[in-house]
Chain A
Amino acid sequence: MPQNEHIELHRKRHGRRFDHYEKQKKKEGRLPHILSKKAQTLRGIKAKLYNKRRQNEKIQMKKTIKSHEEKETKQRQEVPEGALPAYLLDREKQSRAKILSNTIKQKRKEKAGKWDVPIPKVKAVSEAEVFRVVQSGKRRKKAWKRLVTKPCFVGEGFTRKPPKYERFIRPMALRFTKAHVTHPELKATFQLPIIGVKKNPSSPLYTSLGVITKGTVLEVNVSELGMVTQGGKVVWGKYAQVTNHPENDGCINAVLLV
């Protein structure tokens, strides 16, 4: 393996051999013979591997040959079936058979109590990861205090408990108030204030503390989006699920649960 560009430099300065291109062409001409000899004489595991690789190459070659053979000019395309008026074009219409099976499935899900979230399974975060032990006392022997190391949300009227009695310390640097929420259909992202942490899938303790990790369901203030319910009331709170690791990124990205 050349460590530097001395080979290229030489080529640039002095050029190649006079018969370089001829030799290269001849070598390429010999290639099919060599390959076929190889394919015929290989045995065992090496043969199997080689055959597999060769098969893939042949498929690719056939495709390129076929595309070259197709005419350059546009053919009169076959008009597809299933004509739709303009207002139905961007909408996916379910076939009627599917609707029935979907309703049955939904009923079953509701009975089971499982809800649809974009990220259903999240790796649980252990306590050792989330909390760091803070030692207190005159001799630094007492170890009942914990410092939260993940981003969290505290409400607006939050006041700390007296430091002497505070068991869980949530540092101000790790407190977030806004989340970047993406609307899944519109594919637009908005920065919305968080109203509260609804559920942290790892532990109910984290939910009560307000710790935000990947997969946490938050409630965000969507009054900016201007959504309205059937009764005409303006919707101002909706759930969103966190999609990134906020402790690594420094921001909370979430997807809106519509």
Chain B
Amino acid sequence: MAFRFRIPNIGFRKRMSWSDFTVACIVGVLAGIYTFKPGLQQAKDEIERREALKEIQARRKAEMEQDRPTQTAWLSLFKRIVKNSNTRYSLLWLTGGLLFCLYASDKAVLSQFQLENGTLLGGPVEIPLTVNLRQLNSITNGLAQVQEGAAAVDNNEPVPYSFYIDEIEIKESLEKYFEEQANKQMFEKTLNIVCVPKARFQVIPVERCTATIEGHLEAITVLQFSPNGKLLASGSGDTTVRFWDLNTQTPFDEYGKAHRHWILCLSWAPNGKMVASSCKQGLIGLWIGATGKQHGTKLLSGHRQWINSLSWQPLHLNGSCRLLASGSKDTTIKIWDTHLFKTVFTLSGHTASVTCVKWGGQNLLYSASQDRTIKVWRTTDGVLCRTLEGHAHWVNTLALSTDYVIRTGAYEPSKERASDEYDHLDESTLQTLASERYEKVYKLFDTNGGERLVSGSDDFTLYLWKPETDKKPLARMTGHQQLINDVKFSPDTRLLASASFDKSIKLWSSRTGAFLSTLRGHVQAVYQIAWSADSRLLVSGSADSTLKVWNIEKRCLLFDLPGHADEIYAVDYSPDGQKVASGGKDKVLKLWRR
């Protein structure tokens, strides 16, 4: 780093006169020339650029109110320069630019940018108070570029960030932030600004119902999109599993007729090829997603009562999608081999019905039960690792922070790829792709990696666990006034949403379990929720027959989607974020798009 100015005392700085300005220019240029002897030509370019900046600064001073036109010019210039020069120059430019900002403004603050898991982005920098979000974004992008080198940045697209100081978000500019936090010590020490990358793509919210498809003869109980979002499978009380073609919005001809009782649970294999469905008699059926035909001739039997939950082994652990776990009311969990149609392990230990099973990314199986405990099992040999106790009533749902990556497997929704590209890849390639995606999300909480588990229960509270290491919960989240039916982590794992029978949805921070806000609007119990792929939208289905789309950044209701005639039992957001499907007691399936 060339040099770093420390402003020793707070308070107002006098405006720099033009002479001081030119002096500063020359000093900067000289420093540039001095440190980079061979690059004299480039230094001369810099002088020109600084002259240009000087003019822009002058304009800025003249029009204090209107920031935007000058700032965009400044920003575009900044960006162009950052991209063209090599990293050392961009760094110098950063410091130089900041210095000028500094001289031009009244107040400034020394701050240190860092990522969530603690890694620092460069050293401390001085930034003026009037800097707004877009400028902060460009600074962070530049710092990240410097950190990782030019090779790490792909597509040259800037990643949008959101900034937090002490867990409170910076909404418009640093000034506004400090106005609201009047009692905090501002200037004496270095501010730690935590930068959280947001999804690069933005999902357009769904607004209208594009299709109302009949086909089932009884209420639809479960719905799920395939991991690549191209296929949809639904199970209903008329014992059939139907597949729906989303382009023509009609059902397939073949549909699954092998079950004899209500379909309770449905799950797509992470490679998107097979579907497993379970019924109230405790049988599991396997179907091929593309055609709708049954895989094999018989149903997997073994459980003595109905099956509450199904979970496939993640793709990054085994590319062939072979193992499936099922939790049933007869208090046992069975791991099945779907190629051989046999039970591999039977895990017993619970004393009451098992309500939810989740296969974690580290080959651990988490099971929640009505006996108020959550048990962690090792799937390689079927041994119980630990029991997580704490709830006072039935545990209804579980959610893992890596849920979204495990569900989508090798498919990356933000990258536009040909739809059949994944079909040609073989199992090992798919497995490596999936494990790359998984590792990224796994390292988000700590640099060593860690999964987080959230459990929602009938005792109106949620617990946040670190199930791989601790028996004690990290946080207990209270506030709901009725039992909690559904919990989901956002795909970027920052937020948690919980839906409860008290007609509200609560948002929590997944790092600390702190309560963020309540989303009210439904008039009856909220049954299911689903996050969009960019974590900016949440869709919820309730017993009052409406779906609601919520804007998470502003924490308010975006769209109300009425149209169903009776209670909505199942809602799903497609992993590419384009469609929402909902089904319920009125036997019709509705597809919603923009």
A interface residues, Cβ below 8 angstroms from B: 76-77, 79, 81-90, 185-186, 225-232
Contact = CB atoms under 8 A, between A and B. Distances in A.
Interface in B112-144: none
B392 A228 contact: yes
8 contacts: A84-B221, A89-B306, A89-B308, A185-B393, A226-B392, A228-B476, A230-B479, A232-B478
Interface in B319-355: 353, 355
Contacts of A81: 218, 237
A112 B544 CA distance: 34
Contacts of A185: 393
Contacts of B392: 225-228
B222 interface: yes
A232 B479 contact: yes
A79 B216 CA distance: 14
Given A84-B219, A85-B527, A228-B461, 11 more contacts: A79-B237, A81-B218, A82-B237, A84-B569, A85-B222, A86-B308, A226-B392, A228-B392, A230-B460, A230-B481, A231-B478
A88 B308 CA distance: 11
A227 B459 contact: yes
Interface of B: 218-219, 221-222, 236-239, 260-262, 264-265, 280, 306, 308-309, 353, 355, 370, 372, 390-393, 396-397, 459-461, 476, 478-481, 485-486, 527, 569-570
Contact of B221 (A83, A226, A228, A232): A83
Contacts of B570: 85
Contacts of B486: 87
A88 B392 CA distance: 19
Most chain B CB neighbours (cut-off 10 Å) among A81, A83, A88, A231: A83
Nearest to A229: B478
Contacts of B239: 79
Most chain B CB neighbours (cut-off 10 Å) among A76, A81, A86: A86
A228 B308 contact: no
A76 B260 contact: yes
A144 to B, nearest CB: 49
Contacts of B397: 87
Lowest 6 A-B CB distances belong to which pairs? A83-B237, A232-B478, A85-B221, A86-B264, A226-B392, A83-B262
B482 to A, nearest CB: 10
A90 B485 CA distance: 13
Contacts of A87: 355, 396-397, 485-486, 527
B391 A86 contact: no
B219 A83 contact: yes
Contacts of A83: 218-219, 221, 236-238, 262
B557 to A, nearest CB: 23
Nearest to B281: A77
B238 A79 contact: yes
B391 A77 contact: no
